[in-house]
Amino acid sequence: MEPKTALLETHLKGECPAITLQSADRWPVDTPGGRFYAEWDTQAPVTREGQLMFFFQFLQAGARWSELLADCPLSYIGNRGSGKLNVMGTVMLSILCGHWRYAHINSVRGDQVNAALLGMDKIVSEDVVRTALKRMDEATSLRWVQRHIIDSISPALSLPWILDLDTTVKCLYGHQQGAQIGYNPRKPGRTSHIYHSYFVANLRISLGVEVLPGKASAAPHGMSGLWEMLERLPRERWPTFARGDCGYGSEKIMVEFEGRELPYLLKLRHTSKVKALVRDLMRQSDGWQDCGDGWEAAEATIKLSGWTRPRRVIIVREAPAIAPVGEKARRRRRDPFELRGIKGQQLSDSLTAPWSGRIAVLITSLDKIAYPTICMPKQYRDRGDAENIYDELKNQWGWSGYSTQKLAPSRIMANLIALFYNWWNLYVRFFDEHHHREAITSRPALMQGVARQVQSSGQRTIKVSLLHENGEQIAALVSLTSKQLQQIKPITERWSAEQKWSLLLTRILRRWLGGKWLSDLPPEAGLVLSG
């Protein structure tokens, strides 16, 4: 008798049953390197940003995170609300990871390790974050964020510092509130928002940002936010002087600076009277001083029509020996604020060819003795570093994104980005106090790393694996810094939040401070820093 055999159907009837992780626990995968076996592990808490643990330790040592949540204006009624801790923690994780859209939050929702490190119950969704920002009162929320932005750097402003002013354009592609067609040199005709920003020069620290509709690109629109920011600082912590481009070189703005006794160094537009002054100086062979780096400067006084008083101006030009002439001058990219010879006209009798070098006219209220003519060109050229800050904040920190239909959430998010950018910037200076490291290099080195949480006998351990080329060196530096922060904790346990943060700033900015101390610290602070 023949044995009965079961017939296997090649094609199943009906729909194919859904394959779950339980039904395919382990399977072979053939790769160019040979056969491997794949397996999903959905139970173990892991993260790809394993080194954020040390950044959170830095925030805890300076009491920054607890202070931010203490007066957060976000509140919920009932037991089903997400809570300000979960919302703000999700926002910070998203910003630190380099996101620029709310939809990117979904990529970190499975991160159980960093959520627990911040004390969060869960990472909320993009809709919860967007709705939470809409719930927050705009005026109260902006005062809240801006106060913490100032507090994060205020102790270090007791030393002389320079304030940089500038604006940038954020292009929009939807139907957002305040989306207007204004000044947009890269994409003319595209609706946009305007960011009026204020920075601490050389430190690349943001002091706040005003997000305005696209037509409010003129500098006077951002002056109210500037004075509100400075009023939060004691007078002894105001900047030595403020710097701005030609958009700020107007009578209205200069009168505001002079009324508040804040010196300024601005740039003038090349109006007809300004050009006449330049031509008169160019005809003079004397009066020009060599400022180094191929530049010369001469000083004069001018009073334009509509001005209330004459003011000091510095004319800066390329040295005639290196100024381009002929075909080289024609190939150079034209600066809209350059003063050039026109159809063979000579700007200087001493020149045998039309002047084609770059010329800038600076106006200032700084004292001639403390700031002579020879140092003014370099003082203004250093303002160009603000463009690097914009490049980093827009392309690496999300200032060009996080757009909503309402303008208020965009304003709050822009200031939150500036706050977290400052925190990360200061944290990175623990490891490199001589240079500023942008996020494109500091994130792979000091944030990324596969981490796995293991719990045994009630003790939680996070094991971090670095994939960076300099992993051993990074691990040694991070371990040393983390141990220093851990040693500080028992000593500063009874200190106020301001004292804790001042101690960390003294350590982080010790090269910039030149060995000076910030504010009044307890006597044991010397033992902490010396150790």
Burial of 445 (0-12, 13-18, 19+ CB in 10 A): buried
Average pLDDT in the chain: 86
The winner for highest mean pLDDT among 278-287, 330-339, 491-500 is: 491-500
CA 130 – CA 86 distance, rounded (Å): 13
CA 141 – CA 411 distance, rounded (Å): 9
pTM: 0.88
pLDDT digits (tens, 9 = 90+) for 141-170: 999 999 999 999 999 998 899 999 999 999
Q: Which residues pair with 162 in a beta bridge?
A: 241
* Parallel/antiparallel/unpaired status of strands 450-456 and 459-465: antiparallel
- 34 domain residue, yes or no: no
pLDDT band at 340 (very low <50, low <70, confident <90, very high): very low
CA 444 – CA 463 distance, rounded (Å): 17
- 23 domain residue, yes or no: no
Question: Last residue of a domain, which of 307, 334, 364?
Answer: 364
- 154 domain residue, yes or no: no
CA 375 – CA 387 distance, rounded (Å): 21
CB neighbourhood size of 115 (10 A) = 22
Of 110-119, 264-273, 274-283, 333-342, give the lowest mean pLDDT range.
333-342
3-state secondary structure of 401: coil
Segments of 365-482 assigned E as strands: 450-456, 459-465
Task: Show the DSSP H helices in 27-121 as ranges.
Answer: 52-61, 64-70, 84-96, 112-117
- 292 domain residue, yes or no: yes
> How many domains does one find in the chain?
2
Tokens 């801790």 found at: 85
Angle, in degrees to the nearest 10, between helices 407-428 and 497-508: 60
**Torsion over CA: 22, 27, 31, 34 (sign):** positive
Question: Last residue of a domain, which of 317, 341, 364?
Answer: 364
The two structure tokens encoding residue 82: 């997400």
- What is the residue range of 346's domain? 264-364
CA 517 – CA 502 distance, rounded (Å): 9
pLDDT of residue 350: 40
The two structure tokens encoding residue 165: 């002013």
- 298 domain residue, yes or no: yes
pLDDT band at 322 (very low <50, low <70, confident <90, very high): low
Across residues 389-410, what is the average pLDDT?
93
How close are the terminal C-alpha atoms of the chain, in Å? Answer: 91
- 525 domain residue, yes or no: yes
Q: What is the DSSP string of 449-491?
A: BEEEEEEETTEEEEEEE--STTHHHHHHHHHHHHHHHHHHHHH
The two structure tokens encoding residue 360: 């800038």
Of 47-51, 431-435, 442-446, give the lowest mean pLDDT range.
431-435
If residue 167 lies in a helix (H) or strand (E), which one and from where to where? strand 162-171
- 503 domain residue, yes or no: yes
Across residues 57-64, what is the average pLDDT?
94
Question: Last residue of a domain, which of 306, 331, 364?
Answer: 364
Of 24-28, 407-411, 463-467, 519-523, give the lowest mean pLDDT range.
519-523
CA 499 – CA 525 distance, rounded (Å): 10
Segments of 181-268 assigned E as strands: 192-200, 205-213, 241-243, 264-267
Residues 6+ apart with CB under 8 A from 445: 437, 468, 470, 474
CA 512 – CA 306 distance, rounded (Å): 42
- 354 domain residue, yes or no: yes
CA 203 – CA 92 distance, rounded (Å): 22
3-state secondary structure of 53: helix
pLDDT digits (tens, 9 = 90+) for 101-110: 999 999 999 8
CA 381 – CA 295 distance, rounded (Å): 11
pLDDT digits (tens, 9 = 90+) for 218-247: 999 999 999 999 999 999 999 999 999 989
